[in-house]
Chain A
Amino acid sequence: MSIPEDQPINGPMSEPIDEDVSAWLDGECCGEPGCSCGFAFCESLRDDADARNDWFIVHTIGDALRGRPVLDDGFSLRIIERVDTSEIDPGYDPLAES
């Protein structure tokens, strides 16, 4: 049986994930090209374990609904840690190497 639409939700998501961030995740934020809607949220991911937890959960919901395997913990963080060890190379074109 479904629950009524106006029933309160037990255990809301962390403060940084609000309706605007949910829309931003869908690419549906303010509609302005070049907006910075996701900046504050992404900043919070560095230090806020609750925000990281909810980020993971929101994407897990989408992956599970689409029947995709759930990505491992820390996927983005490990990418960022590796990117942090490299530098911009003005002469490099990644699409020219293959």
Chain B
Amino acid sequence: MNEPIIDPDLELIRRAQAGDRHAFNVLVVKHQRRVAWAIAGIVKSPAEVEDLAQETFIKAWRGILSFRGDSRFSTWLSRIAINTAKNHLVAQRSRIPARSAMGDGLLDEDGESKDAEAADSEDPERLLAGRQIAETVARAMGELPEVERAALELRELEGKSYDEIATALDCPVGTVRSRIFRARERIAAALRPQLEPYRGRRW
């Protein structure tokens, strides 16, 4: 017999199903990156990823009552995201006759839209900002106390749970929590001046 699914989002889902928009907004804030990266695996243009992420969450909100907890909410959301992205590609291909589009250089040999995506994802300003941010994070990471760096690496790069990190580093879970938090605070302090020009309505 299958183990019952314990979904950490259960209370938020219940509230959202009762019409609580704020509870659903919390789910958006929590899961938007997972949704975006699922879509980005199928569609390359950042603008299209954002449009499809919005479409995914609108579908999830409209259809929230159809979620019955047969899987985790995050899994349900990812399925909607992937279907939405695939349907988008199919619709895109049907709008552009492949033969003429390939002749115009719009589609590659696999039928993927090429030039528009490349133009979007290779914005020089975006690339430069991303590279500078990555350099700052790498430098700040290198300056962290060894125990904090190890904890953050195990979390962010290897996706380990706090329990697994505690075992690997031979320390209590509470220590893992505080080391990861302090590591983030130190890197944030290094990043903050660099991101100040972009400060505004963001979250």
Residues in chain B near residue A96, CB distance under 8 A: 66
Q: Which of B20-28, B100-108, B109-117 contacts A (4 or more CB under 8 A)?
A: B20-28
Interface bracket on B: 35 or more
Closest CB pairs A-B (n = 5):
A34-B11, A73-B202, A5-B145, A93-B66, A94-B59
Q: Find residues 14-28 in chain A having any chain B CB closer than 8 Å to their own CB.
A: 18-19, 22-23, 26-28
- What residues make up the interface of A, taking CB atoms closer than 8 Å to B? 1-5, 9-13, 18-19, 22-23, 26-28, 33-36, 38-39, 42-43, 45, 49, 51-80, 82-84, 86-90, 92-98
Query: Is there an interface contact between B181 and A11, defined as CB atoms closer than 8 Å?
Result: no
Judge if B99 is at the interface, Cβ distance under 8 Å: no
Query: Is there an interface contact between A58 and B188, defined as CB atoms closer than 8 Å?
Result: yes
Query: Is there an interface contact between A58 and B184, defined as CB atoms closer than 8 Å?
Result: yes
- What residues make up the interface of B, taking CB atoms closer than 8 Å to A? 6-12, 14, 17, 19, 21-22, 24-26, 28-30, 32-33, 36-37, 46, 50, 53-54, 57-66, 76, 79-80, 83, 86-87, 121, 126, 129-130, 133-134, 137-138, 141-149, 152-153, 155-157, 161-162, 177-178, 180-182, 184-189, 191-192, 195, 198-203
Q: Which one of B25, B87, B142 has the highest number of Cβ atoms from chain A below 10 Å of its Cβ? A: B25
Query: Is there an interface contact between B32 and A39, defined as CB atoms closer than 8 Å?
Result: no
